[in-house]
Structure 1
Amino acid sequence: MALTTLYATTGDDVVLLRETTRGWTVEPLLRGVGAQCLAVDPGDGHHLAVGTFDEGVFLSEDGGRSWRRAERLPATRVLSVAISPAWRVAGHGVLFAGCEPSALYWSEDGGRHWHEASALRQLPSAPTWSFPPRPWTSHVRAIALSPHDPGLVLVGIEFGGVLRSTDGGMTWADQRPGCYLDCHALLLHPAMPELVFEAAGGGVARSEDAGNSWQAVDEGLDHRYVWAVASPPDDPTTWFVSAAPGPREAHGPGPHRGAMPNREGTAQARIYRRQGTNPWEPIAGYPDPLPSMPYALVVPMSEPQVVYAGFRNGSLWRGIELGHTWQELPVRVDSILTLVAPPA
């Protein structure tokens, strides 16, 4: 088995989780910025982007050894970031930032200058977008970019559904038919880019036409508050999601900054696997139900048979053989909101 490297955001910090021949190490890379989300350039693993709760975007060009803030980004609350594998300028992927209140910006020069996808906020459904804990606002929770088509951009609004652009964000198609409105995550599969999965409050939806239309694929799910989604990068027939009975179990009551408050042990969560056209099945091999919410799932390109789960309580689990055998790893941070594996 390959030695693993993962980036994680904790709600405050960015940390590097690294497996060595002597065990696992935890290295803080960026402290105290309210780190919510992270993206790695698929074409250059040294280029990182981090979205924060109130400090905008931070960027690194050396794998997290040094950072600079994207001073000209008009928004400060950034809950999703993505770097395009297909839209490249001067050797680097174009950077997207999804914000609260709901807005989408992109940068073609590493975050030095920004353009707003202003047509997004003019969509007919925009006045109805509302995030339940802060109902006066909403945010771009998820961004999915095509590995082959530089113009294809999908965004998920929490709470407002999946929106689609085919021209790099200049124009938008409003809420796509069949999608769930409470979008938490989107994954466009790298080996079959017309196939997209949405993890949402309400269940899981699948698109077979690059996000233009959606169908619910909930058979087998006994928990419908779905948060994270992952798939082996070489196998579009296998998918994983994490889910809890509802938002209170997953996150706990009340407003949140960074990692959401929760009484530890109350999540009642599960991780599910779907293979082919079979129903979702709860994965065995760990405490059932899980006491803490799996906020993050990832299958690294270097380990396509291994799924990693990062939890709200800061623990990290590894499921080998596509999640058939699980072990808790000797890693503990404050919380794990996102996990990202660098390109192989």
Structure 2
Amino acid sequence: MRIYAAYDDGLRIVDPATGAVETRLSGQRVECLSVARREAGADDPGRPRVLAGTFDAGLFRSVDGGERFARAAEATLGPEGSGPDAVTAVATSPHDPAVVWIGTEPSRTYRSADGGETADPVGGLTDLTSASEWSFPPRPDTHHVRWIEPCPADPERWLVGIEAGALAVTADGGATWTDRPAGARRDTHAMATHPDAPARVYAAAGDGFAESDDRGDSWRVPEAGLDHGYAWGLAVDPDDPDTALVSAAAGATAAHRRGESYLYRYRRGEEGGAAGSERGPGAFERLDDRGFPTGAGTYRAVLAAGRAAGEIWALSNRGLFVTRDAGDSFEQVPVDLPDRAARALAVG
């Protein structure tokens, strides 16, 4: 197993068993990651495919677990002749690892049918009614796709978070879009799903935490126990779709510049009164004093689900940590990583 950490100066590949750290894409501002695990075969060791989106040089692709990277979909990720757009989001379909969706700044989406080697535009996103209101405050003249989440129950359904301004949902592979479903957040930073609850979606956003039980068509906003409303990182327990970890702060300044962030565990509510009814809104528990640094001096963490029950990885400027009991306790991984916030985290 390897851990992939995206920073503003390159990609770090961590072997947690040995503590070895290797740098790839040195000097590139790596914005997003997607790691697709592949089965080993007679002529293939099964090393995962790694896709890394960069702000200045488009998409990079590795088919050997990150040993070597090459530019991918260079001719199509952006207007013809202008070079690639900044790649700010990338996701692989759980139904077919050859299908990849890519998001950029300015906000555009692309679909690849060959694992990211080439891509074609997916239209209609900027035709949405809310598009005139989209704006990323540090760069107010533009906006970008911050997150793309596939639906475990439907290969044609994808959820796209625009930073900042909207959540958009397509049920037909991008032919049509739903703009700002009821209750959806406007500043989505991360989403997460789980194969054991395929209609459910969690979202961590600058304007709070939300969950959907109908594949993103409608949302509710549980708040009990969540003292910090600017949510950033998100991961679901691999063995329990009712349990998620969320990193949060009081606002963008605390999360990204001042450094005062926290970690929460969200657990779904109890079953409703009627037989077979879905669980109600859950509650948050702040995970202070569990072995993961929080509070003053800590920038917002990025999170990634591991492979085993209760295993979730967390990375901040204070280091790389792992919990194997869904947040009851954390242990630090003794590796040499930059002492600043990472952009993305993936397990492969």
Q: Hey, what's the Cα distance between the residues in 2 that align with 1:203 and 1:113?
A: 35
The letter for the 2-side match of 1:66 is R
**1:145-294 correspondence runs (5 A):** 145-252=150-257, 266-277=258-269, 278-284=282-288, 285=290, 286-289=292-295, 291-294=297-300
Cα distance, 1:43 vs structure 2: 4.7
1:271 partner SS: strand
Q: Does 1:94 align with 2:99?
A: yes
Provide TM-score, normalisation by structure 1: 0.88
1:80 equivalent in structure 2: 89
Q: Indicate how the Cα distance of structure 1 residues 43 and 62 shifts in structure 2: closer, same or farther if over 3 A, else same.
A: closer
Correspondence for 2:303 among 297, 303, 309: 297
Correspondence for 2:26 among 28, 31, 49: 31
Cα distance, 1:224 vs structure 2: 0.6
The letter for the 2-side match of 1:118 is G
Q: Hey, what's the Cα distance between the residues in 1 that align with 2:320 and 2:116?
A: 31
Which has the larger displacement, 43-52 or 8-17? Answer: 43-52
Cα distance, 1:111 vs structure 2: 3.2
Gaps of 5+ in 1: 253-265
Provide TM-score, normalisation by structure 2: 0.87
Do the aligned partners of 1:41 and 1:93 also contact (CA within 8 Å) in 2? Answer: no
Task: State the 4+ residue runs in structure 1 displaced beyond 6 angstroms.
Answer: none
Cα distance, 1:332 vs structure 2: 3.1
Q: Hey, what's the Cα distance between the residues in 2 that align with 1:93 and 1:190?
A: 19
Which has the larger displacement, 284-293 or 220-229? Answer: 284-293
Cα distance, 1:42 vs structure 2: 4.6
Cα distance, 1:134 vs structure 2: 1.1
The letter for the 2-side match of 1:241 is V
Q: Hey, what's the Cα distance between the residues in 2 that align with 1:324 and 1:215?
A: 26
Do the aligned partners of 2:244 and 2:267 also contact (CA within 8 Å) in 1? Answer: yes
2:330 partner SS: strand
1:156 partner SS: strand
Cα distance, 1:30 vs structure 2: 2.6
Gaps of 5+ in 2: 40-46, 79-83, 270-281
2:277 equivalent in structure 1: none
Do the aligned partners of 1:300 and 1:306 also contact (CA within 8 Å) in 2? Answer: yes
Q: Hey, what's the Cα distance between the residues in 1 that align with 2:191 and 2:263?
A: 17
**1:307-322 correspondence runs (5 A):** 307-311=312-316, 313=317, 315-322=319-326
Q: Hey, what's the Cα distance between the residues in 2 that align with 1:142 and 1:102?
A: 11
Do the aligned partners of 2:314 and 2:322 also contact (CA within 8 Å) in 1? Answer: yes
Do the aligned partners of 1:85 and 1:93 also contact (CA within 8 Å) in 2? Answer: no
Q: Indicate how the Cα distance of structure 1 residues 60 and 80 shifts in structure 2: closer, same or farther if over 3 A, else same.
A: same
The letter for the 2-side match of 1:24 is G
Q: Does 1:18 align with 2:15?
A: yes
The letter for the 1-side match of 2:9 is D
Q: Does 1:60 align with 2:57?
A: no
The letter for the 1-side match of 2:86 is R
Q: Hey, what's the Cα distance between the residues in 2 that align with 1:61 and 1:237?
A: 33
Deviations 1:164-213 (A, max 9, x none): 01111222111111011011111122221211011011210100000111
Do the aligned partners of 2:13 and 2:23 also contact (CA within 8 Å) in 1? Answer: yes
Root-mean-square deviation (CA, aligned residues, Å) is 1.7
